[in-house]
Structure formats: structure tokens, C-alpha cells
């Protein structure tokens, strides 16, 4: 039985590692070393950091014979784990011309070989404990797959010629469904992850919460609707904006979603498949929380609470999500309704007006692993639903993504809500 368990664990591990390599297969070495802003990490760093995670949290603990590839890598590729030790400054990851990409790939091969030896030959270790850590490591690497995609989009967008990270695709969108409202009766309900399958610690504990009556829009806001907001001086009307958002508009000269630009009187956008005209029917993406909130104010609505969103999505099938496919360039397109909603899962992350904080009775795990989510529960907002760049395993109603309110480089959009 142990042999079968360890075989399934290694299959899980090797699968996520292959998908990461597939995502970078069309990038050059030069593509992978650039950092265009502090929030963006070079692709090379993502490849090394995800490898470091396996080395740090599994190999050092369970393999007494494991030999580190380089003692310097613990400093270079630790992201934010204070209990592990000091680390290189995040805004300067692009300064790391060394180790070379070839060395980082050799590091990945070194750790992959050690993980295969550990999971195929040593059944004296606790399979339950290792399985939990491998599931966390897989989820961690999948999160970095999404970050890798959104980061390289920002990197390539700064090139003067519209470069493609993936071969251009034929978009498979649909006519935009008419926006309607789905009403829900308030009451005392339970929220948070339920079940024994893998989930992050911030998705629980399961708890009760009172909702007032509310309605949620049947689909995300479209590019065409956002163009109407822009044409109505949305970026110039201070009354629509939160104070900090208005300051960001003026400081950063925001006048459109990130990656949009004017050419010959029309709006275009940079995508990972090259530049293309803005599709009025596609969900608007690359909005900050401030932009999402300003649009909602302009539309006479509001952003949903995260538990409203979760309640509405609890019976919706995430299997219909438009999520990360390593074979094509991620890009949100319109999708037909199913069960009364369109694209609750996939397409764009949807901002909520809920501050990212702990659920009742939440306690982070002991040790450095406990730093994964809990330490960030301040100054950020929750997003729900996943995007076209989100791996399928991260698409569920209880999943809580979180970013600062000025973040725009993710595929983040908006679905409206209103009180009844």
C-alpha cells in the first residue's frame, strides 16, 4: 500500500514540474532574467524558487543523504519565510545575472532526481505527512505558474515591438450574454472550505456568517461597458473614487486598464498572443481594486462581499472554468451562461470589497509553513473565482486570492453586486 501511495505522490509532483517547464518552453534565456517592476519576478527566479521550496520543506527534512546544490540558493531564492533565514531583496531579483539559467535548470534536475529517489525508495517516512507537504508544494508551484504567466506578460509589454510569448491563438469567445441579476435571500449560513481534499489554511475554518439579501450580476463587466465608463470621464470624476484610488489615478496617470493603448483612434491591448483590438464583449481585466470600485460606483452598484460571492458560487460547477492551458496564450473571452451565471470561475479574478483577514478560530500552522498565508492578512482585498491564467486546481468557491488595492498586473476584473 505504501508503494502505491508514494507512486501517486510522485506522479502528482512530476506532473506539476512538467507543466512548469512547458510554460517556459517558448521563452528565451533573455526573456527569463528581466524584472520590470518590484511586483514582477523574473521567470528564472520562479523556476529556482519553486525548486527551493521542495528542497527546503521536504528534502532537507526527510532525506538525510540529500546534498544541497548550492548553499547560496537558500539566500537567493527564499521568498518571504523569515524563519528560514535572510533573503535577497524582492525588488532586486532582476539584478541576479548569476546563477545562469543553465545553472537554475541544473538545480531543478538535481532536486527532481532527489525527489524521485525519496518518493520511490524510502517508505520509512510518514506517507500521510509527506503527502500533505507535497500537495502544498504542488499548489505552491501552481500559484507560481500563474505568477510566471502574468509576470512575463508585464515584461514583454515593455518591449517597443509587440512580442508574443505564445503562438497567436484563435479566440473562442461567444456573443456577450445580457447582464441580469440573481437575487439571494439573506440569513445565517456556513462559509469556508468543506471536505478532506487539499485546501489552503486561509480557506477555513468553516464558520457561520450572516448575509443580508443581495443580488449578484450574472456575468463580469465587459470591455464595452468599461469603455462607456471611460467615455463618461470615469477617470476624471473624483466623486467616484476612494481617496487612495484617486491619488493613484493622478500619481500614475491611469486612464485605461493596464495594457490598453490607443492607435489610429481605436483601443488596442497587449496580450501574450500579441497586440489586438479590444474586444468589447470580453470581460475587462487588469483592473485595480480602486478601478473596480470606481466602476461599481459609476454603475450604481457595488462590489460583492467575498461571502456573498462564495454563497452564490457554491453550487456552480467550476469544471466549466476557462483556466490556464500551457498550449495557448491566456486571454479572457466571453462565455455563455450556465446555471444562471457566466464565468464565475475562470476568465478574470473578481475583486470583492472584503478585506483579506482571518476567519474565526483561524490559526496558522506551526513553523515556516505557517507563514504561507497568515502573515499577509493586512492591507489587501480578496479576489474570487480564478482567471484564464489560473491552474484548474485553484478554481473553487472557497479559494481566497488576495492583492493590494493598487495591483493591476493580474487578470483581475469585476462582477457587480447590489443590495435588495
pLDDT, greater one: 127 or 148: 148
Residue 284 confidence (pLDDT) above 80: yes
Grid cell for residue 124: 520509512
- Quick one: pLDDT at residue 295? 98
Sequence-separated (6 or more) residues with CB below 8 Å from residue 92 = none
Could you give the CA distance from residue 371 to residue 275 in angstroms, rounded to a whole number? 39
Sequence-separated (6 or more) residues with CB below 8 Å from residue 418 = 181, 214, 215, 300, 301, 302
Q: Which neighbouring-strand residues pair with 341?
A: 338
Mean of the pLDDT values across residues 152-176? 80
Q: 497587449: which residue's cell?
A: 270
Mean of the pLDDT values across residues 386-412? 96
10 Å Cβ neighbour count for 151?
Answer: 24
- Quick one: pLDDT at residue 317? 79
- Quick one: pLDDT at residue 171? 64
Residue 335 confidence (pLDDT) above 80: yes
Order of all β-strands in the sheet with 274-277: 260-263, 266-271, 274-277
Residue 104 confidence (pLDDT) above 80: yes
SS3 content of the chain, % helix, strand, coil (to 5): 40, 15, 45
Grid cell for residue 247: 491619488
- Quick one: pLDDT at residue 1? 45
Mean of the pLDDT values across residues 384-408? 96
Mean pLDDT over the full length of the chain: 93
Give 6-36 pLDDT, tens digit per residue. 888 999 999 999 999 999 999 999 999 999 9
**Residues of the chain above pLDDT 90, percent:** 78
- Quick one: pLDDT at residue 169? 63
Residue 337 confidence (pLDDT) above 90: no
- Quick one: pLDDT at residue 326? 82
pLDDT, greater one: 130 or 296: 296
- Quick one: pLDDT at residue 164? 75
Q: Do 282 and 332 meet the contact criterion of CB atoms below 8 Å apart?
A: yes
Order of all β-strands in the sheet with 381-384: 401-403, 381-384, 349-355, 412-413
Q: Do 419 and 294 meet the contact criterion of CB atoms below 8 Å apart?
A: no
- Quick one: pLDDT at residue 190? 97
- Quick one: pLDDT at residue 288? 98
Give 105-144 pLDDT, tens digit per residue. 999 999 999 999 998 866 678 778 889 999 999 999 999 9
- Quick one: pLDDT at residue 144? 97
- Quick one: pLDDT at residue 316? 83
Kindly give the pairing relationship between strand 181-184 and strand 381-384: unpaired
Could you give the CA distance from residue 60 to residue 81 in angstroms, rounded to a whole number? 16
- Quick one: pLDDT at residue 43? 98
Residue 244 confidence (pLDDT) above 50: yes
- Quick one: pLDDT at residue 325? 87
Grid cell for residue 318: 467550476
- Quick one: pLDDT at residue 170? 57
Give 367-376 pLDDT, tens digit per residue. 767 767 888 8
Give 193-243 pLDDT, tens digit per residue. 998 889 999 999 999 999 999 999 999 999 999 999 999 999 999 999 999
Read off the pTM.
Answer: 0.95
Amino acid at each position: 500500500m505504501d508503494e502505491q501511495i508514494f507512486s501517486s505522490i510522485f506522479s502528482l509532483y512530476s506532473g506539476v514540474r512538467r507543466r512548469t517547464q512547458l510554460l517556459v518552453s517558448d521563452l528565451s534565456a533573455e526573456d527569463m532574467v528581466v524584472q520590470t517592476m518590484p511586483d514582477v519576478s523574473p521567470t528564472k527566479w520562479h523556476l529556482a524558487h519553486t525548486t527551493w521550496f521542495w528542497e527546503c520543506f521536504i528534502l532537507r527534512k526527510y532525506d538525510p543523504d540529500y546534498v544541497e546544490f548550492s548553499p547560496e540558493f537558500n539566500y537567493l531564492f527564499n521568498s518571504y519565510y523569515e524563519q528560514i533565514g535572510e533573503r535577497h531583496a524582492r525588488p532586486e531579483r532582476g539584478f541576479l545575472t548569476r546563477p545562469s539559467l543553465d545553472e537554475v535548470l541544473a538545480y531543478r534536475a538535481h532536486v527532481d532526481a532527489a525527489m524521485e529517489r525519496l518518493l520511490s525508495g524510502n517508505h520509512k517516512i510518514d506517507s500521510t505527512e509527506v503527502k500533505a507537504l507535497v500537495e502544498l508544494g504542488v499548489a505552491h508551484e501552481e500559484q507560481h505558474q500563474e505568477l510566471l504567466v502574468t509576470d512575463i506578460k508585464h515584461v514583454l509589454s515593455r518591449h517597443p515591438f509587440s512580442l508574443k510569448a505564445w503562438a497567436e491563438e484563435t479566440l473562442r469567445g461567444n456573443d456577450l450574454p445580457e447582464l441580469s441579476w440573481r437575487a439571494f435571500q439573506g440569513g445565517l449560513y456556513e462559509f469556508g472550505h468543506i471536505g478532506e481534499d487539499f485546501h489552503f489554511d486561509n480557506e477555513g475554518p468553516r464558520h457561520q456568517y450572516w448575509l443580508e439579501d443581495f443580488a449578484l450580476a450574472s456575468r463580469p463587466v465587459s470591455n464595452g461597458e468599461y469603455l462607456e465608463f471611460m467615455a463618461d470621464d470615469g477617470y476624471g470624476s473624483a466623486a467616484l473614487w476612494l481617496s487612495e484610488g484617486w491619488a493613484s489615478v493622478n500619481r500614475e496617470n491611469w486612464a485605461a486598464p493596464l495594457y490598453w493603448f490607443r492607435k489610429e483612434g481605436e483601443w488596442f491591448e497587449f496580450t501574450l498572443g500579441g497586440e489586438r483590438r479590444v474586444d468589447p464583449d470580453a470581460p475587462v481585466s487588469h483592473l485595480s481594486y480602486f478601478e473596480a470600485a470606481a466602476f461599481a460606483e459609476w454603475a450604481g452598484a457595488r462590489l460583492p462581499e467575498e461571502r456573498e460571492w462564495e454563497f452564490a458560487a457554491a453550487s456552480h460547477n467550476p469544471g466549466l472554468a476557462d483556466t490556464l492551458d500551457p498550449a495557448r496564450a491566456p486571454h479572457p473571452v466571453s462565455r455563455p451562461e450556465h446555471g444562471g451565471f457566466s464565468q464565475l470561475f475562470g476568465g478574470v479574478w473578481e475583486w470583492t470589497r472584503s478585506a483579506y483577514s482571518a476567519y474565526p478560530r483561524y490559526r496558522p500552522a506551526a513553523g515556516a509553513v505557517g507563514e504561507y498565508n497568515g502573515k499577509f492578512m493586512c492591507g489587501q482585498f480578496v479576489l474570487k473565482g480564478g482567471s484564464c491564467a489560473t491552474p484548474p486546481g485553484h478554481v473553487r468557491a472557497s479559494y481566497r486570492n488576495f492583492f493590494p488595492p493598487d495591483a493591476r498586473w493580474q487578470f483581475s476584473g469585476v462582477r457587480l453586486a447590489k443590495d435588495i
